[in-house]
Structure 1
Amino acid sequence: MKKLLSLTFLFFFLGGMTMAQSKINWLTFEEAAAKTQENPKMVFVDVYTDWCGWCKKMDKDTFSDPKVIAYINENFYPVKMNAENTKRKFMFRGKEYTEASMATTMRVRSYPNFVIMDATMENITQYPGYRQPEPFLTGLTGILDKFGK
């Protein structure tokens, strides 16, 4: 009976660990800014629009890949930002933004587009366009190698 209980516990524990990494832990921009002040880490901003087919394909194919999920969750504070959302407002560095105005400030002009920010919330590069999981990870690894953690 003890063995059965131990195995059951182990099954649920490991299952829970798998579930914890079943999706990217998307944050709002202001949540990522607050977290990076507490614990400095690079920020990954997925700038998308609702009408963008390649953005939807990125969500379906790439952002659902277990390796991509684990890599982004481990190395970044991930943010999902709708480049056309003018309703949700937030403060950043003493100025009010909407997701749309922040996307403009970041000079995003195509979708999907991924803005990589350092731990001080400064834009360091953009990584635009749809990519399948493996090439996407290769590119992100190269960015982290170049700009450090």
Structure 2
Amino acid sequence: MKKTLLFFFIFSNGILFSQKNNALKSYSFEEAYNLQEKEKKPIVIFFHTKWCKYCFGMKKKTFSDKKVIDLLNKYFYFIPFDAESKDLIKIKDKIFKNESGTHQIAQVLASKNNTISYPSTVILSANNIIDEQIDSFLSAEEISKILTKYIAKKIQTKRMLPK
């Protein structure tokens, strides 16, 4: 009986520990920008809404994929953001808010030709310049390819810069 309980205890702690390690780390805009002061990393922003079934699909499938989680946790700051949020966002001295149903930060970062499609995934460089805007559903395989290509391009660019 004692061996059974010991096995169960060790096994359950192992499962809990492995689940914590496989969790996607997500940040608010403020947290990501503060972290960039310590360690410069690109930011991936996932703009979604509560009513968007494709957004829900990405949350459920794409962002639960182990490879996607590993890439995002290691190389990026990840911000999932409801584009219809009423939250005020303060970045440095600038305040962003929702005045018209769509949050200003979504309008600034996810808009293409004055239109926002959901879901939208935006990659900001470590210097906070928009490098990528993808306005469609992305499978785990698709976003893994995009992130891997992005990382490889940044590493290659760093190697080419004079020291």
* Map 1:80-95 → 2, pairs under 5 A: 80-85=80-85, 87-95=86-94
Q: Which runs of 5+ in 1 are unaligned?
A: 1-6
Q: Give secondary structure in 2 for the equivalent of 1:47.
A: strand
**Do residues 20 (structure 1) and 16 (structure 2) align?**
no
Change (3 A) 1:147 1:113: farther
Q: TM-score under structure 1 normalisation? A: 0.83
Partner secondary structure for residue 50 of structure 1? coil
Which has the larger displacement, 18-27 or 111-120?
A: 18-27
Q: Aligned runs of 1:61-80 on 2, under 5 Å?
A: 61-80=61-80
- d(CA) in 1 for partners of 2:105 and 2:154? 22
Distance apart, 1:14 and its partner CA: 5.0
Larger radius of gyration: 2
Equivalent position SS for 1:106: helix
TM-score when normalising by structure 2: 0.77
Amino acid across the alignment from 1:97: F
Query: How many residues matched?
Result: 146
**What does residue 104 of structure 1 align with?**
107
Percent identity of paired positions between Structure 1 and Structure 2: 28
1:13 to 1:71, Cα distance in 2 relative to 1, 3 A: farther
CA drift at 1:20: 2.2
Higher relative contact order (CA 8 A, sep 6+): 1
CA contact (8 A) 2:110 2:122 kept: no
Superposed CA offset, 1:92-118 (max 9, x none): 131101371001111431111111011
Classify 1:58/1:107 alpha carbon distance in 2 versus 1 (closer, same or farther; 3 Å).
Answer: closer
What are the residue-to-residue correspondences of 1:20-39 with 2, within 5 Å? Answer: 20-39=20-39
Gaps of 5+ in 2: 1-6, 159-163
Moved over 4 A (4+): 7-14
Matching residue's letter, 1:69: I
CA contact (8 A) 1:21 1:69 kept: no
C-alpha distance in 2 between matches for 1:131 and 1:106: 18
